[in-house]
């Protein structure tokens, strides 16, 4: 599905720079941009976020160090996005609402790939059991997602991009990212960004309005298409918070979730529009993005240290995944992948 490029919006201080223009095109979310010119620095929103969070963590991830363990929340997020992508592909192919069978097929394809990439995790009984339960939960949640958001799949919504990747040369760095979807409404363009969460906090609107990812995606879409999005709509799927009862099978657990989905769909499906003005965006580029990219480029070129930010060793989601390395120089819980594999793995974690 191609995007029609329109005249660029006049925004001071904002323009792509480089030998080529930015582009938005179909692409595998796990694919990593490659260049014959090894001097080109590629950076994603997630890489910049890690750089801000802790430079030592950013360096470890860039070197290919990946924790052998993975959190259940991240695995659920990956499962949900696989199901959503399967639904999107089915809709693109048929022009009709995706069937439950198509969703299940997409999930099965993802699971096969995940098992091949994580053979050690599949040997852990607890992880294997969690996956069995989560697979059934995701299938049920996506079935009701399709029913809840009817206009997404009945042809009434004008989609202009689905599962697309953008690459933009900007200030000596190649910015890239992945857009879940974009649609057009009354000649305005909207980004629909999907996330899974355990709950939706009361201050979610304020948090999303200041979220780095919000501005980064606006920046990418503007430079790639010449169009300034009207809003970025966060498409949140809330995970089931129920506990497995004694003797309850994955199918039984999912059936209990389905009962709640039927009774309270708005509890599990939330769409929160985030409006960023052109003035706010231009100020973000000038005061945040541009200085940040200067620092990032200097760091990547070896002109800045990779120190540990000890204030982020523990956050709202628990301890940092790389704490054992920083605290005890203990690498036993990690495996080192190739640079290409590490980048791909890092990008698959970006959307959870």
Query: Pairing state of beta strands 173-185 and 334-336?
Result: unpaired
Model pLDDT, residue 53: 92
Rounded to the nearest 5 degrees, what angle is found at the Cα of 291, between the Cα atoms of 15 and 279?
A: 55
Query: Pairing state of beta strands 173-185 and 41-44?
Result: parallel
Model pLDDT, residue 343: 54
Model pLDDT, residue 341: 59
Domain assignment present for residue 209? The answer is yes
Domain assignment present for residue 111? The answer is yes
Domain assignment present for residue 201? The answer is yes
Alpha carbon separation from 113 to 27, 117, 179, 180, 312 (Å, rounded)? 17, 6, 22, 20, 32
Domain assignment present for residue 286? The answer is yes
Domain assignment present for residue 215? The answer is yes
Q: Are the beta carbons of 64 and 122 closer than 8 angstroms?
A: no
| pLDDT profile of the chain (352 residues), mean per 10 | 35 39 40 51 94 94 87 91 91 91 93 88 88 96 96 89 85 90 91 91 84 92 91 95 95 97 95 94 96 95 92 83 93 80 49 40
**Alpha-carbon gap, residue 211 to 191, rounded angstroms:** 15
**Alpha-carbon gap, residue 282 to 269, rounded angstroms:** 32
Model pLDDT, residue 5: 34
Model pLDDT, residue 16: 42
Q: At what angle do helices 250-263 and 125-148 cross, to 10 degrees?
A: 30
Domain assignment present for residue 318? The answer is no
Domain assignment present for residue 32? The answer is no
Element at 50 (helix H, strand E):
helix 45-53
Alpha carbon separation from 204 to 150, 209, 272 (Å, rounded)? 25, 9, 9
User: What long-range pairs does 267-270 form, CB within 8 A, spacing at least 24?
Assistant: 267/238, 268/141, 268/144, 268/237, 268/238, 268/240, 269/144, 269/145, 269/148, 269/149, 269/236, 269/237, 269/238, 270/200, 270/234, 270/236, 270/238
Q: Residue 94 is part of which domain span?
A: 23-27+40-237+249-298
Total domains, the chain: 1
- pTM to 2 decimals? 0.81
Q: Are the beta carbons of 237 and 196 closer than 8 angstroms?
A: yes
Query: Pairing state of beta strands 173-185 and 158-170?
Result: antiparallel
**Alpha-carbon gap, residue 341 to 347, rounded angstroms:** 10
**Alpha-carbon gap, residue 219 to 282, rounded angstroms:** 9
**Longest C-alpha distance within the chain, in Å?**
62
b/e per residue, 13-26, with b = 16+ CB within 10 A?
ebebeeeeebebee
| Residue 57 CA, distance from chain mean position | 19
Model pLDDT, residue 339: 59
| Residue 52 CA, distance from chain mean position | 18
Domain assignment present for residue 305? The answer is no
Q: Which residue has the tokens 């990956």?
A: 78
- Domain of residue 157, CATH code: 3.90.320
């Amino acid at each position: 599905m191609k995007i029609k490029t329109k005249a660029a919006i006049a925004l001071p201080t904002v323009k792509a720079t480089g030998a080529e223009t930015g582009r938005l095109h179909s692409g595998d979310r796990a694919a990593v941009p490659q260049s014959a010119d090894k001097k080109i620095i590629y950076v994603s929103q997630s890489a910049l976020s890690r750089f801000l969070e802790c430079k030592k963590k950013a360096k470890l991830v860039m070197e290919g160090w990946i924790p052998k363990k993975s959190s259940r929340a991240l695995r659920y997020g990956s499962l949900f996005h696989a199901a959503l992508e399967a639904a999107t592909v089915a809709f693109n192919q048929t022009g009709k609402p995706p069937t439950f069978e198509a969703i299940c097929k997409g999930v099965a394809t993802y699971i096969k790939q995940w098992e091949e990439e994580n053979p050690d995790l599949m040997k852990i009984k607890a992880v294997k059991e969690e996956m069995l339960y989560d697979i059934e939960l995701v299938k049920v949640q996506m079935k009701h997602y399709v029913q809840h958001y009817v206009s997404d799949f009945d042809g009434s919504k004008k989609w202009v991009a689905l599962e697309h990747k953008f690459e933009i040369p900007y200030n000596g760095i190649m910015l890239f990212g992945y857009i879940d979807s974009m649609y057009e409404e009354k000649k305005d363009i909207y980004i629909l960004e999907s996330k899974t969460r355990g709950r939706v906090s009361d201050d979610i609107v304020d948090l999303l309005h200041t979220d780095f990812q919000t501005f980064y995606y606006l920046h990418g879409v503007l430079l790639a298409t010449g169009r300034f999005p009207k809003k970025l709509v966060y498409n949140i799927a809330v995970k089931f918070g129920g506990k497995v009862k004694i003797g309850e099978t994955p199918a039984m657990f999912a059936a209990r979730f389905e009962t709640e989905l039927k009774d309270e769909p708005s509890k599990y499906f939330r769409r929160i529009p985030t409006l960023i003005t052109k003035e706010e965006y231009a100020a973000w580029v000038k005061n945040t993005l541009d200085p940040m990219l200067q620092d990032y480029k200097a760091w990547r070129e070896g002109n800045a240290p990779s120190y540990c930010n000890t204030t982020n060793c523990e956050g709202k989601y628990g301890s940092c995944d790389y704490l054992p390395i920083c605290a005890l120089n203990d690498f036993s819980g990690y495996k080192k992948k190739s640079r290409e594999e590490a980048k791909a793995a890092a990008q698959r974690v970006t959307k959870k």
